Amino acid sequence: MRSDDQGNCKKEDLLLYAVTDRSWLNGQTLYAQVEKALKGGVTCVQLREKNLDEAAFLEEAKEIHDLCAQYGVPFVINDNVEIAVQINADGVHVGQSDMKVGDVRKKLGLDKIIGASAQTVEQALEAKEHGADYLGVGAVFPTGSKVDAVEVSHETVKAICEAVDIPVIAIGGITADNVKELAGTGICGIAVISAIFAQKDIKEAARHLKSRTEECGRENRQQKRRQTKGRAVQWIIKHAYLTWTVL
């Protein structure tokens, strides 16, 4: 479990969050692809399997969990709480139509990571209230990875970041070419599928995307400092004016 001031996951662990997909295996194993992504610098891995039978899912989850542990990277399972409990995964991510965050927390305990999808400020606040450690917000760009994805404006992403005090990552249609458009929204990282696993060189794709995401993070921090400085100047001017009028 992380220190109390950081919850169960650190923001830096969410910088480049890789979500697995079997669509682009091309003769490779998922294990091999995940290892390439880890070598490229991904900071968190989510195992997402919608069509695998439970026995195969369990075996795969054990193997990739052990792999992520070797690299010191958190391993999260999409939706399947029971398998997460069986293999002692680092956490679970649930969508709006999956098990409720509060129920997941009861099953996993207090020291596991719980991520929740959100498309609105209301959903974000509810997830945070019930114990979510981070939020995945999107789709921030058009995406083909999830057919039922709802597009979320960058203004809404920013509003969610401002409304909650837990980390927020963006997801949906993000690439190395458009990630900088998310600068200024307040996100701490991105979750991607095809931007890593659909690429010919998975390791290099992850490395390049991580670099671009770090640039976006620097712009976020610079903008936040400018906003803080601006508010401080406004406060000084306001109070200087009030003092002058009193005198």
Distances (CA, A) of 204 to 13, 64, 149, 210, 211: 19, 20, 27, 10, 11
To 5 degrees, how large is the angle CA 145–CA 138–CA 93?
80
Residue 147 CA from chain centroid, whole number: 19
**What are the distances in angstroms from CA 42 to CA 129, 139, 156, 203, 212?**
28, 20, 26, 9, 13
Residues with Cβ < 8 Å from 31, sequence gap 6 or more? 60, 63, 64, 67
Contact call for residues 108 and 85 (beta carbons, < 8 A): yes
Cα separation, 133 vs 127, whole angstroms: 9
Tell me which residues are annotated as active site. Answer: 48, 117, 146
Quote the CA–CA distance of 206 and 37 in Å, as a whole number. 6
